[in-house]
Amino acid sequence: MIERWRQSVVAGIVCIFGTLAVAQTRPEAVPPAPSAVRVELLALHTSDGVRLDGVLYRPAKPGPVGLILVHGYGGHFYGAYFPLLAQAAAEQGITTLALNMRDHDTGPKVSDFADNQTDIAAGVAHLRSLGLRKIVLLGQSMGTNRVLYYQAASADPAIVATVLVSGPGNLFQWNVWQFGHEKAQQSVDEALRLRAAGHDRDLMLVDLGPLGKALYTPRYLLSLRGPEAKSDPYQNISKVKSPVLILQGKADKLIALDIAERLRKAAGDNPKVTMAYVEAADHGFSQQQPVLVGRVLGWIKAVVPQ
């Protein structure tokens, strides 16, 4: 009995010291390497008092170039390939801001397309406040119309290059392509009647085909595709004289296949326009995100002195 007790105590001591020995000889955990990119959520306010949420990717060693990512219809700052592109750009020293427009996501649309100039201006002002002297604008889908209008309306010399991804082209013509001219014109005529009756801010149900149905005010609809709309990218790109990259996927079913070529032709005599189609890429480049990131960052490096 005593002998068994003695053996049990000895075994326990051996076990304890054996465990301590293993613990003392185990390699210490290696702390994770500090990230080269700092990610910050932020809220900006436009000159007319609208709050815009976004995310800023700040390099550890920022260069002189900033990049603003502008989403399309129903989008937001954290959608599609934006996080991957923003992270990769910041790792290359490009401070990147992905920013909501005031009509982000899929709720009722009540603003005016021209308000996008004010929204983008808030993003540009923030990057300038960080000391960035050269700013690149990237628009995804309807974001292409937004960034082209900003430049046509503002002639901002800080914008040194523009990237257009999956642009839908003229938005009234996009509706004609989806529904035919008669139905496309019907929605415009309804919005014009409501505006004439003093109901410019009432809501109307609008059929967007593959994008479903949405609530628009006549004000919003007419600012996109009415007779006085300022959203036509073919007119606005002709006023852009800095380098432009146009990218379109060959598997994109949401826009006509010739939009990229039409944008290139509309750029007129600008010799700094590059156009490329990407095989198997859909509207959001969902399966081709690394390809898109490589194309965009390689082009920015080539045309914007760092």
CATH number where 74 lies: 3.40.50.1820
The answer to the question of residue 23 being in a domain is no
- 12 belongs to a structural domain: no
Q: Do 288 and 213 fall into the same domain?
A: no
pLDDT along the chain (306 residues), means of 10: 40 36 37 74 98 98 97 97 98 98 97 98 98 97 98 97 98 97 97 98 97 97 97 97 97 97 94 96 97 98 92
Contacts of 162 (CB under 8 A, 6+ apart): 136, 137, 138, 139, 147, 148, 151, 240, 242, 243, 244, 245
Same domain, 184 and 264: no
DSSP single-letter state for residue 282: -
Is residue 179 located within the same domain as residue 248? no
At 9 the pLDDT is: 35
In a domain, 21, yes or no: no
Q: With respect to residue 5, please indicate whether it lies within any of the assigned structural domains.
A: no
Task: Report the pLDDT value the prediction gives residue 149, as an integer from 0 to 100.
Answer: 98
Question: Is the same domain home to 184 and 98?
Answer: no
In a domain, 31, yes or no: no
Domain match, 133 and 254 both: yes
Number of H helices, E strands in the chain: 10, 10
Task: Return the pLDDT at 14.
Answer: 34
Classify residue 225: in a domain, yes or no: no
The whole-model pTM stands at: 0.88
Indicate the number of domains in the chain. 2
Identify the pLDDT of residue 34.
Answer: 54
| Range(s) of the domain holding residue 202 | 174-220
Asked if 148 and 161 touch (Cβ cutoff 8 Å), the reply is no
Is 17 among the domain residues? no
Listed residues 220, 253, 278: the one ending a domain: 220
